[in-house]
Structures are given as C-alpha cells and as structure tokens.
Structure 1
Amino acid sequence: MSRAPWPELAELYDTPPELSSCPLYYVHVDERDTSVTLGFETARLPDRPEPDWERGAYNTLRFFVVFSGVEDLRMAGLAAGHPDGGDHVLISGSGDGRVRVTVTGPARSLGFSAATSAVTRTRVCLQGSL
C-alpha cells in the first residue's frame, strides 16, 4: 500500500499523502497489548482541516497509526531515526488477512504482521523547518 489506507486520513484529504513522503518519527512497541504505534508527519496540509486547527498557524500534520494483534515482531537498531528521514516503510496485505509492516533505514529495521491498524490521533504543529 503506497497510500495511507486509513479512513481518518481520507476525512482530512481528498487524496491522502503517500506514506513514502511521510517521515517516520515515532516508534512505540507495547508488549502488553501486542501493539506497535508508528508516528508519521507530513508537510502536506489537510484539504479539510479540523475546525479548531484553523485558529492557529501550523505547517505539519502528525498522525499515529496503531497496529494491533502484532505477531512475528523483529527489530534491530531502534535508534533515533536518520535526520533526513531515510526510513522506508512498507505496508502490505498478506494472504491470511493480516497486514505486513516493514521499516528499513540506516539506523533501524522493524518488521511484524498485525491483525488490524487504525489512525488513533492526528494533530498539527508548527515546525521550524522541514
């Protein structure tokens, strides 16, 4: 899936941004809930911003995707991301109805399958530079 498949983003964009254009800046593994949360950001502003976002200045949208029912988790080098982004995130379907996620980059690699995924939070912020 090269486009973000989540309806929460489709509510904000006519055409949601390509994940390849959204740097991954946050990774959280929760072994208790067998979930992985990935945080992405994009300088491509929403076509339909939430009403309270119109009151302030911003140049970045951040969104968090929670993958639940995680199995086959493999990770190495989960250091801070490369300053230029550099991580490649691939989300694909698998024959058993699960979602397969791989993250590869100069400082880390991460792979797992998940039963479900959903955008759990979106927010806007003003960054000094992108």
Structure 2
Amino acid sequence: MTPAWAGLVRNLAVLTDFYTSPPPLEPVTVRSLYLDRRGPTLTLRFDLSGFPDRPRPEWEQNGCDMFQCQLQFLAVDDFLLRGWHPPVTGSLDIEPTEERRVLVRLGAGGTRLTFSSSDSLTVGKMSAYRSSADGTDRGHHYYVGKVDQMRYDVLPDLGEKTFYGRV
C-alpha cells in the first residue's frame, strides 16, 4: 500500500525507482528547512524511515544505509516554527484539506512546525549515504541526479541556494 503522502508527489516515479512502496514519513529525521519568500516555498531535507529495497549497486558496495531527499511545498501559508534545533526526528504528518491544499505538521521533542501548502509536492536531491556514529549526515553522499553527482559528493553549506532552494 502506498502511503497517503506519496499520492501527493507529482514526480513519484523518482522514488518508485528505488522503493516498491514509498516508506511512511514516520519516523523521519528532518535535517534542514529552506524558506523562499518567492512562491512562497518551503523545502525540507530529511532521511526517510527506510532504506530503498531496490538500491543502486554502488550504494551497497559503499555500505550506504540511509536515504535522504528533499520535499518541496508550494504556496506555503500559516507558517509556525518553534524550537528548531536540527536534526529533528519525528512524524511528518501531511493531511489533505479543502481546495487542493494540505496541512503539514512536525512535532518532536521541543520542536513544532506547522504550515499549509498546495497539495502538489515535489521530491528531489535524493542521495544515499552511510550513517555515522555521531548521527550526522556529513559523510560522502551518492546522489541520484546527474547534475548533483557532478557538483556534490558531500552536503554543501546551508547557504548554497541552488542546492537547498531547488529540488
């Protein structure tokens, strides 16, 4: 069964290349968020709860055990953020509402994130990496996208708008 959130992803095929069924967004580890006033858009970068069941051979050869992606939300409204100290691990709830919109909630520990957005979500910047003992994601990333493969082998600095602002 496909989780409800996956039905809202306009480019779901990029995930189904690696997953028989996309994993639920519980738990996910949200690593960063990027707000862009143009749009307005919000992009979350997080680790999915399960590693792909159809991984690329290079991921297996290099001991990758985590899969990360960005999820972009358009026409963001009613934004509320409290206690942001990433990484934040919790349940990312995406609930359809009226007029082709969704209500998004993330609550974990002292963090609370809520907002509404268009119900058309986009997944991008997918990568596999090997988890580190300290829980960071700063090691080598094996990106899915060809341009990302050429430009990055580790996460760029948080100020890199072309990475964090575009999926």
> Same fold by TM (over 0.5)?
yes
8 Å Cα contact 1:13/1:46 also seen in 2: yes
What residue in structure 1 maps to residue 32 of structure 2? Answer: 26
Question: Greater relative contact order (Cα 8 A, min sep 6): structure 1 or 2?
Answer: 1
Larger strand proportion of the pair = 1
Which structure shows the bigger proportion of residues in helix conformation? 2
Which 5+ residue runs of structure 1 have no aligned equivalent? Answer: none
Aligned-CA RMSD value: 2.4
> Counterparts of 1:81 and 1:43 in 2: how far apart (Å)?
14
- 1:88-103 aligned within 5 A: 88-103=91-106
Three-state SS of the structure 2 residue aligned to 1:114 is strand
**Cα distance, 1:52 vs. partner?**
5.4
Name the CA distance, whole Å, in 1 between partners of 2:60 and 2:86: 32
What count of residue pairs does the alignment treat as equivalent? 127
* Aligned equivalents of 1:80, 1:22: Cα separation in 2: 12
Provide the C-alpha distance between the structure 1 equivalents of 2:71 and 2:112, rounded to a whole number of angstroms: 17
Give the gaps of 5 or more residues in structure 2.
136-167
Q: Following superposition of structure 1 onto structure 2, how do residues 37-116 of structure 1 map, counting pairs within 5 Å?
A: 37-42=43-48, 44-50=50-56, 53=59, 56-82=62-88, 85=89, 87-115=90-118, 116=120
Q: Distance in 1 between matches of 2:104 and 2:46?
A: 14
TM-score, normalization by structure 2: 0.65
CA distance in 2, matches of 1:68, 1:43: 23
Percent of aligned pairs sharing the same letter = 23
1:68–1:114 CA contact under 8 A, matched in 2: yes
Q: CA deviation at 1:66?
A: 0.7
